[in-house]
Amino acid sequence: MNKICEILNIKYPIIQGGMAWVADANLASAVSEAGGFGIIGTGSATADIVREEIRKCKKMTDKPFGVNVMLMSPNVESVIEVIIEEKPKAITTGAGNPAKYMEKLKKAGIKVIPVVPTIALAKRMEKLGADAIIAEGTEAGGHIGELTTMVLIPQISDEVKIPVIAAGGIANGKGMAASFALGAQGVQIGTRFICSKECNIHENYKQAVLSAKDRDAIVTGRTTGHPVRTLKNKFSKEYLKMEKEGASSEELDRLGAGSLRLAVIDGDLEKGSFMAGQSASMIKEIKSCKEIIEEIVKESSNIMKEIY
């Protein structure tokens, strides 16, 4: 049996990305109901909001689901406490090193699956007792590392014994089949689920992803040490211009503050930060999570059959 399916007790090794503001109980439960692993993205949300979403998700599905913890959140400590009380099947972590929470979470029986952008971090996470690792290439949306999925997955899967989940640039069966070929046992998919029927965000966000072309998912924030992949628009162009002109981190933070919310909730095409991965240009249609997952599984298994 597939190791990711075994660990998480799911049908298909497809993990939904923990997208802040985007991935709520509605999306997570739809992905889990369809046989994947739905994730509630907590971003910088308060512990009370996180508890509410977890409880909502429990009401919407009997299937296992998880929570993503964004480690740069000012609420990270209280969010971890809520997670330990509510006991989702697993957590994924992003934007930092979850070392100091690992023991507590494992004691509570919660699987820990860190998202990492480098080989060194993957090895460190294995030593600390991570149950699996999500290796995320720079093709991904949001906060990213430097290495591509193509070089990250084979190296990490050679270096660690725990199962590896590939992320970054995967939106269809081709990406899933490629991930298996590179040594992964599962995939994490974010951007594709933005364009799902069950994703409760402003319609402008979905349309921005659907109309994105190959070079439209650009990287801002390289000068601050927190690179973020987001779609090209007035906001991201202005951000890049300020970086070129030598703006300070404080000035850039001021420009960026609240911009993801403006995209997700208000659909503000000018001031919003429409975080998305390079796979955006492969996404053509809004479908249900069930249709998306079944299509990816079917396409990837056909590719793997055709090879030999």
Nearest to 155 by CA among 198, 129, 123: 123
Which residue number, 57 or 167, has a Cβ lying nearer to ligand TUI? Answer: 167
Cβ distance to ligand TUI smaller for residue 19 or 54: 19
Q: Using CB atoms, what's the residue nearest to ligand TUI?
A: 142
Toward ligand TUI, which CB reaches closer, 116 or 152?
A: 116
Q: What are the residues binding ligand TUI (CB under 6 A)?
A: 20, 43, 70, 72, 94-97, 115-117, 121, 136, 142-145, 226, 228, 275
Between 143 and 202, whose beta carbon lies closer to ligand TUI?
Answer: 143
Cβ 18 to ligand TUI, closest distance in Å? 8
Strand partners, 92: 68, 113
DSSP secondary structure letters along 88-123: -SEEEEESS--HHHHHHHHHTT-EEEEEESSHHHHH
DSSP states of 123-172: HHHHHHT-S-EEEE-TTSSEE--SS-HHHHHHHHHHH-SS-EEEESS--S
Helix ranges (DSSP H) in the chain = 3-8, 25-33, 47-60, 76-86, 99-107, 119-128, 149-159, 173-181, 191-194, 203-210, 234-244, 249-256, 259-264, 289-307
Minimum distance from residue 289 beta carbon to ligand TUI (Å) = 20
Instruction: Output the smallest distance, CB 218 to ligand TUI, in A.
Output: 15
Backbone angles phi and psi of 59, in degrees to 5:
-75, -30
Contact 61, 89 (CB under 8 A): no
Q: How far is the CB of 4 from ligand TUI (least distance, A)?
A: 18
Q: Which is nearer to ligand TUI, 19 or 195 (CB)?
A: 19
CB nearer to ligand TUI: pick between 57 and 134: 134
Copy the structure tokens of residue 235: 């906001």
